[in-house]
Structure 1
Amino acid sequence: MNLKNKLAAMAVMSALGTLCLSVDAQTIRVANQGDALSLDPHSLNESLQLSVDLNVYDALTDRNKDLSLAPSLATSWRQTSPTVWRFELRKNVKFHDGTPFTADDVLFSITRAAGDGSDVKAKVNDIKDVRKVNDYAVDIETKGPFPILPDVLSDLAIMSKKWCEENKAEKPVDRRKGIENTASFKANGTGPFRVRERQPNVRTVFVRNGTYWGKIDGNVQEVIFTPIANPATRVAALVSGEIDVMEPVPVQDIARINASPNAQVVVGPELRTIFLGMDQKRDELLYSSVKGKNPFKDKRVRQAFYQAIDINGIQRTVMRGASRPTALMVGPGINGWTAEQDKRLPYDVDAAKKLLSDAGYPNGFEVTMNCPNDRYVNDAQICQAVAANLARIGVKINLAAETKGTYFPKILRRDTSFYLLGWTPTTYDAHNALDALMRCPDDKTGDGQFNLGSYCNPKLDELIGKIKSSTDKNERMAMIKEAFTIHADDIGHLPLHQQSLAWGVSKKVALTQRADNFMPFKWMSIQAPAKP
């Protein structure tokens, strides 16, 4: 073992040792392959960070265990006109520092989320204005009719205006530039848990908020969150009882955990779609052997890549069956998905070679592929398999796999030619994926914020705008279907699969697994041991 690996192993064992010393009957120890990159809930629109941070912060609306919409800091909402929503706010709520929650915090948070450095602009880019009605009511005016606004706001954290101003955290942390502020390391929400300790990439300790306004179903008093990058170390820690919950479970270790006396694997479908994106904007790719032009601007090249990928082979050998190959950028469970459209182009190496040759690349070309190695299930292995597939048609992939801490800032700057990404529509509606991933990017409005390859079709944009404002269900579904057809015909992205959720859970722990892969601590409990 080299010095770097020894130091990493020592850090993990030290963290685990600290866990063991601090554990009591109502402490749950959670491990993930990576850390939340910040405690700033507006700095990165990534599921793990939102999942962690939203144990500390509340939004105006929330999700029940079945993902149905629920009240949170807003007790009710209604439309007062086609473009204005009135949200009645919860009274007698306090931030963790004792400051009362009011309408001023809502106005501040929505403005902050729309501002410079925010990675959650897509959630508020349809908002035209926010007006204070009184201390406990706000009117939110949208740029046009927007019937799913309450759904969109279900994971937009509300921050304390007073605390942010006092701590010079008025703007979000910009992950693209590496700029940090107080909100990166400290948190002051209204949520069911407070942050007691934060050591980035080592551990974060959460404690129950004794003055929480809402109901906490679970009995857990403390949650210790520890990133453990090595899958074997995570599994060993779970099986030995050093941790209580881990995710993701490597698909090859599910049987081992289920055979252990202390733990089991909770498996379920996930709403996240894993896909590949390509730079379709630059006249010359940044990282390619092709000079003077961009092969990804040619649909034939994009289709060649698509048909060269053996998705069933990836499902079988890399994912061990724990994935669902897809032709769409959303999966079952998302409003707008239909089985009729979810049919992939056939895997056909010869057809892919011909397409590449017809496009002027009979011998293929070389391109760098960016990939995380600690964010999605078997992400680096998926990229390795894709690289091997593309080699069969003469495409040489230079694989750049790295930790998400450096990966996300890079691709969010669009400093990439070919990349892997996953997306869960937090509104559980197809418009979210269409607007964030497939719309022409506009940095001013936030449209297409995560369309990192800058795919663009004005006709699709027009449809997305109509889908957003339509209140006729049948008309809306027809437009979603047409939008997906346009995107599929363009080969705008290369959808791969929906991964399955696999959480390793101690048999003494009860929790709720949501299909969006969020992990609310308020639903966790330590169970009494079974009597003999």
Structure 2
Amino acid sequence: MKRIAFLSLALIIALSVVLAGCSKPASKGAAETKGKEKDGQKVLTIARSGDVLGFDVHNHGTTSTESVHVNMFNYLVKKDRDGKFQPDLAVSWENLNPTTWRFKLREGVKFHNGDPFTAADVKYSLERVAKDAKLVEYGNYKQIKEVNIVDDRTVDVITNEAEPVLLSRLSRLGSSMLPSKYIKEKGFDEFLKNPVGTGPYKFSEWIRDDRVTLVKNNDYFGEKGKWDKLVFRSIPEEATRVSELLTGGVDMAVQIPPTDMKRINNLDSTQTLSGPSTRVMMLALRTTSGPTADPRVREAIDLAINKKALISSLFEGDGKETLTPIIPGIFGAKPDLFGKSNYNPERAKQLLKEAGYEKGLTISFTGSVGKSLKDKETSELIAAMLEEVGIKVKLEILESSKFNDKRNAGTTGDMFLVAYSNSMFDAALLYKRLNPDTGYNNPEVTKLLSDAEKNMNPGEREKNYQQVQDILAKERPQIYLLQLGANYGINKRINFTPRIDEITYADEITLK
């Protein structure tokens, strides 16, 4: 009966994909934002899988929110498509000693409200995220001890210890520059309602769970924006995103299901683009209480999951099994853990018996919809696979923002599904979520990560991270499932090349 239940759910998922292709066309109202020009303006409309989490650049950890923020705010340093550091608000930098980095700031930069950008804004921005433990990005910036103002155009960033990846930290989400004078005068709540940055586009409107609208900043210090208006629409349902693209309601849509790509490519006006990503889908398991505190139960969950079936049935074969979150190409990767799986349902049943659950057990499982490609369907299929070995699942599927709230509050139950990308391109980044997500505390792992974080010797750092991966692959506080690809659908009127970091810079998208 359990196998029948599993096959039935797989059939339901397959039918839902087929029915998604029969969705009703987009409404007339949805299509009103599209077109090469509207009222003489160049408008770019992008369909995303979820809404922004807000405009506190330090208090989120999601690529989708950052894809809006990068068009409004600037970092000190940015990375190009090849991963090389380029000037942004800092025009030059040097490492004076292992704990001191000096940055020379760009002149003539103004925030959207007219305030000049100065060293005081750097000090405020970086010290805020480095000192407030309640902020989501605190763990990635607490390495900064203080920022010393040398003059209005020069700052020294002082770290607690040697900091080998500071430039990487300062070129990713969590490091955007905030307007200190504006926030001091108006308060942070007012900033969140009317955010102000230095970027090529400025805030116009946010209709929660519907859209964010930005307009060109004519006073931008760099090359002026290529678009008069940007519209980021929130459309969690995959079928609706595809329908909006096909009917011209949007110019670009993210997270295109593999099953819809042929349909998009069959139209004269639309096409799909695919690229690799650093995003790895994984399960985070509570290690401090409940049945998943037992490593035998965690191993049984891992062995019960047929990753090949997940990839073939939900992703049309577009995915790669993995036993590590650090994919090849990311610093610290251990290639012999990539491209592998531990599927063994009979051994999973034996482990449950050894753990005292011969008659089965029940776990709570939190999943999301619209947070990553096929997240809802993946959660459902995993739940069915676990049922096959005797693990009953209480599955809760939440919309993206509610899922994030629950994850950050630590109330997701025994296990949750998430897909993390690596915006730092360094193993250091992903392990910041290990303890908050799972409660996992292994002194050996803690020491290895601490040593790697301050080690200026790349070879030694790499070995530290590889040792961590070996330990985690055995102890399984997280169960790594697959590396996801990135699929986009676009109107053929635009030029777009996917980035491996999945960030959407509007000015990298042009009209043909």
Alpha-carbon shift at residue 503 of structure 1 (Å): 0.8
1:257 touches 1:264 (CA, 8 Å); kept in 2? yes
Measured after TM superposition, the shift of residue 120 of structure 1 is: 1.2
Q: Which residue of 2 aligns with 1:209?
A: 217
Cα distance in 2 for residues equivalent to 1:508 and 1:132: 47
Change (3 A) 1:157 1:11: farther
> CA-to-partner distance for each residue in 1:439-490, whole Å, 9 max, x for gaps?
xx4xxxxxxxxx3111111111111111112222222222221111111121
- Structure 2 residue 475 is the aligned partner of structure 1 residue 490: yes
How far off is 1:511 after superposition?
2.2
Partner of residue 454, structure 2? 469
% identity of equivalent residues: 28
Shift of 1:116: 5.5
Give the SS at the match of 2:218: coil
- Amino acid of the structure 2 residue aligned with 1:269: P
From 169, 189, 207, give the equivalent of 2:197. Answer: 189
Runs of 5+ unmatched residues, structure 1: 1-8, 170-180, 283-293, 442-450, 528-532
Larger deviation: 228-237 or 512-521?
228-237
Does 1:137 find its partner at 2:154?
Answer: yes
Tell me the equivalent position of 1:113: 129
Residue of 231, 247, 268 corresponding to 2:238 = 231
The Cα shift of 1:72 comes to: 0.8
The DSSP-based 3-state class of the residue aligned with 1:30 is strand
Partner of 1:14: 29
Partner of 2:415: 418
Task: Quote the residue 1:447 is aligned against.
Answer: none
Deviates most, 112-121 or 55-64:
112-121
1:176-325 alignment, distance < 5 Å:
181-215=189-223, 219-282=226-289, 294-325=290-321
Partner Cα separation in structure 1 for residue 339 and residue 271 of structure 2: 34
Quick check: 1:512 aligned with 2:497? yes
Which of 367, 370, 376 is the aligned partner of 2:366?
370
Who is 1:157 aligned against? 176
In structure 2, what is the Cα distance between the partners aligned to 1:184 and 1:281?
36
Q: CA deviation at 1:298?
A: 1.6
Paired residue for 2:165?
A: 148
- Does residue 1:394 correspond to 2:402, yes or no? no
- The answer to whether the 8 Å contact 2:326/2:334 transfers is no
CA distance in 2, matches of 1:14, 1:509: 22
Alpha-carbon distance in 2 for matches of 1:492, 1:278: 6
SS at match of 1:277: strand
How far apart in 1 are the matches of 2:39 and 2:500? Answer: 29
> Which AA in structure 1 matches 2:415?
F
Aligned residues: 484
Q: Is the 8 A contact 2:300 2:349 kept in 1?
A: yes
TM normalised by structure 2 equals 0.91
Runs of 4+ in structure 1 off by over 6 angstroms are 9-12
Contact 2:438 2:477 in 1 (8 A): no
Query: Partner amino acid for 1:41?
Result: V
Alpha carbons of structure 1 residues 125 and 165: separation in structure 2 relative to 1, 3 Å: same
Deviations 1:19-49 (A, max 9, x none): 5694656211111121112122122111111
CA 1:62–1:378: 2 relative to 1, 3 Å: same
Aligned CA distance change for structure 1 residues 27 and 472 (closer, same or farther; 3 Å): same
Distance in 1 between residues matched to 2:295 and 2:241, nearest whole Å: 42
Residues 264, 505 of structure 1: 8 Å contact kept: yes
Using the TM superposition, give the Cα deviation of residue 367 of structure 1 relative to its aligned residue in structure 2, in angstroms: 1.4
Q: Pick from 353, 357, 366: which aligns with 1:357? A: 353
Where do 1:95-106 residues align within 5 Å?
95-106=111-122
AA at the equivalent of 2:220: Y
Q: 2:238, 2:370 within 8 Å by CA — same for their partners in 1?
A: no
Q: Distance in 1 between matches of 2:205 and 2:34?
A: 13
The verdict on how the C-alpha distance between 1:380 and 1:13 changes in structure 2, with shifts beyond 3 A counting, is farther
| Structure 1 residue 167 corresponds to structure 2 residue 177 | no
**Take 1:424 and 1:28, find their aligned partners in 2: how far apart are those partners?**
25
Separation in 2 of the partners of 1:469 and 1:267? 36
Comparing 421-430 with 110-119, greater Cα deviation is found at 110-119
Distance in 2 (CA, whole Å) between partners of 1:423 and 1:26 is 33
SS in 2 for 1:183: helix
Partners of 2:339 and 2:263 lie apart in 1 by 34
Structure 1 residues 365 and 102, CA gap change in structure 2 (3 angstroms)? same
| Matched AA of 1:481 | Q
Three-state SS of the structure 1 residue aligned to 2:171 is helix
In structure 2, give the amino acid aligned to 1:352.
A
1:65 and 1:512 in contact (8 A); partners too = no
Tell me which amino acid in the other structure corresponds to 1:274.
Answer: M
Aligned to 2:107: 91
| Contact 2:34-2:251 at 8 Å conserved across structures | no
1:206 and 1:224 in contact (8 A); partners too: yes
**What is the deviation of 1:335?**
1.2
Task: Specify the alignment match of 1:77 in structure 2.
Answer: 93
State how far apart, in whole Å, the 2-side matches of 1:425 and 1:33 are: 19
Partner secondary structure for residue 154 of structure 1: coil
Aligned residues of 2:34 and 2:43 also touching (Cα < 8 A): no
User: Does the residue aligned with 1:461 lie in a helix, a strand or coil?
Assistant: helix
Task: Please say if residues 33 and 43 of structure 2, whose CA atoms lie closer than 8 Å, have aligned partners that are also in contact.
Answer: no
Q: Distance in 2 between matches of 1:274 and 1:235?
A: 22
Cα shift readout 1:87-110 (whole Å, capped 9, x = no counterpart)? 111111110111000010011111
Give the distance between the partners of 2:40 and 2:379, measured in 1 at CA.
Answer: 41
Question: 219-228 or 50-59: which moved more?
Answer: 219-228
Letter in 2 for 1:87: F
- In 2, are the aligned partners of 1:160 and 1:189 still within 8 Å (CA)? yes
Matched AA of 1:129:
E
Q: What is the rounded CA distance, in whole Å, between the counterparts of 2:415 and 2:87 in structure 1?
A: 40
Q: 3-state SS of the aligned residue for 1:497?
A: strand
Counterpart of 1:306 in structure 2: which amino acid? D
Q: 1:205 Cα shift? A: 1.5
| Amino acid in the other structure paired with 1:127 | I
| CA positional deviation for 1:304 | 0.4
- Is contact 1:19-1:224 (8 Å) kept? no
Q: What residue in structure 2 maps to residue 446 of structure 1?
A: none
